[in-house]
Amino acid sequence: MGCHRRSKHFQTLRGAPRGPIRARWTASFGLRETRKMMRNAMLSSPASTAGTEMSALDRIGEELRTIAASMATKGDMLTHNTAIQDALHAKIAGIRTDVGAQADCIQTLEAAMETQAARNVTMEAALAKQGELLLTMRRSVEDLDNRGRRCNIQVKGVPETDGEENAEELLSGLFRAILQQEAPPCFKFDRAHRAMRPRTLEEGPRDLICCLHSYQLKEAIMRKARGRPTWPYMGTQVALYQDLSPLMLDARRALLPVTTLLRDRGIQYKWGFPFALMIQSQEGWTAACHPDEIPGLLEGPPTPVPDWIRDSMSQRP
C-alpha cells in the first residue's frame, strides 16, 4: 500500500508543471516522506526493543536468584524449630520445678497454720483464765490497799500557810468542831501531812491526809461528817472524805452517771469493799462487782455502763 502511494505521488510530481512553486512543494513532500520512512523502519525493526526487554528480564532474574539464595532452606527451618522447642521444653521444665517447690511450701505453710490455729485456741483459753486470775488479784490488791487506808481521813479546803504548819493541830481543831462534846481530850495520829504533790496557786490548798490511831474514833468523825457536805473552819468551808485507793476512786468516778441515775429514781445505793456497787431492791441489797452485772440491776431503759476495770488497767501502769 505504501508503494502504491509512493508511485502515485511520484506520478503526480512527474506530471506537475515546472517552476518555483513546484520546487518548494517537491522539497516539502520529500522531507515528510523521509521522516515517515524512518519511523516505519524503526517500528518494523524489533531488534532494539527486544534487547531492552532482555536486559530487564536479566535484572529481574538476578534479583530473584539473590532473594532465593538469601531465603532459609527447609533444613534451616527444621534446625531453628528444633532449637525453639528445646528452649521451650527447658523453660517448661523450670516452671514445673518452681511450681512443685511452691506446692511443697504451701503444704508446709498450711500445716504450720493448722498448728498455729490449735495453739491460738489454747492461748485464748489460757488468756481468758489469766484474765480471771488477774481480776481476782486486782480485787485482792485493791482490798489490801483500802484496808491499809481504813483509818485515814482526807480533808479538802483547809488553808495552807507559807511557813511551817502543824497538820495534827489543824486536824485536831477541825475534829473537835465536828464532834463537839463527843471529842476526846486529845487525838492520836499515826501520821498527818499534806498531799504529796507540788504546791500551786491555781489548784488551791493541798489536801490534808491523816491516819488516826483509833478506827472507832475515825468512824465517829466520818458519821458526823456525812451529815452535811461541808463544815466551816478557819474562815472557809472544808469537806471530809474517806481516803480510798486510786483504783476504787477510778471506779466510782466511772460510775458517776449510774449513781446519778439511781439518785434521780430514788433508789438507795452504797459502796462495798472490795469494790462493789450495792443497790437496794425489794429482795434486799444486791452487789455488782463487774460492769456486766450492773445493767441487770437497773430498771427502765438500758443504761450504758463504762468498763472501769479495762479503763483503769489501760491508764495505770
Residue 315 is placed in which grid cell? Answer: 491508764
Residues 168 and 183 in one domain: yes
CB 173 within 8 Å of CB 233:
yes
pLDDT band at 36 (very low <50, low <70, confident <90, very high): low
Tallying the residues shown for the chain, one arrives at 317
CB 22 within 8 Å of CB 16:
yes
pLDDT band at 64 (very low <50, low <70, confident <90, very high): confident
Residues 222 and 276 in one domain: no
Residues 119 and 94 in one domain: yes
Residues 215 and 278 in one domain: no
Residues 205 and 278 in one domain: no
Secondary structure (3-state) at 162: coil
Residues 224 and 156 in one domain: yes
Q: Which of 80, 56, 60 is nearest to 68 (CA)?
A: 60
pLDDT band at 289 (very low <50, low <70, confident <90, very high): confident
CB 279 within 8 Å of CB 267:
yes
Q: What angle do CA 280, 287, 127 make, to 5 degrees?
A: 155
Q: Residue 187: which CATH number?
A: 3.30.70.1820
- Own/partner long-range contacts of 69-77 (Cβ < 8 Å, ≥24 apart): none
pLDDT digits 0-9 by tens, 163-221? 888 999 999 999 999 998 888 889 999 999 999 888 887 788 999 999 999 999 999 99
The whole domain housing 258 covers 247-315
Q: What is residue 241's predicted lDDT score, i.e. its pLDDT?
A: 94
- Whether 174 is in a domain gets the answer yes
- Whether 49 is in a domain gets the answer no
Residues 299 and 255 in one domain: yes
Does residue 50 carry a pLDDT above 60?
no
This prediction's pTM: 0.57
Residues 213 and 259 in one domain: no
- Whether 73 is in a domain gets the answer no
- Whether 219 is in a domain gets the answer yes
- Whether 145 is in a domain gets the answer no
> What whole-number distance in Å separates Cα of residue 130 and Cα of residue 38?
127
Residues 95 and 166 in one domain: no
Q: What is residue 282's predicted lDDT score, i.e. its pLDDT?
A: 81
CA distances from 296 to 3, 75, 292, 300 (A): 142, 93, 8, 10
Could you give the percent of the chain with pLDDT greater than 70? 80
Does residue 59 carry a pLDDT above 70?
yes
Q: What is residue 254's predicted lDDT score, i.e. its pLDDT?
A: 86
Highest mean pLDDT among 27-36, 51-60, 150-159: 150-159
Residues 171 and 220 in one domain: yes
Q: How many domains does the chain have?
A: 3
Tell me, what DSSP letter sits at residue 190? E
Domain stops at, among 69, 97, 129: 129
- Whether 299 is in a domain gets the answer yes
Full strand arrangement of the beta sheet holding 231-233: 189-194, 208-212, 152-156, 236-242, 231-233
- Whether 229 is in a domain gets the answer yes
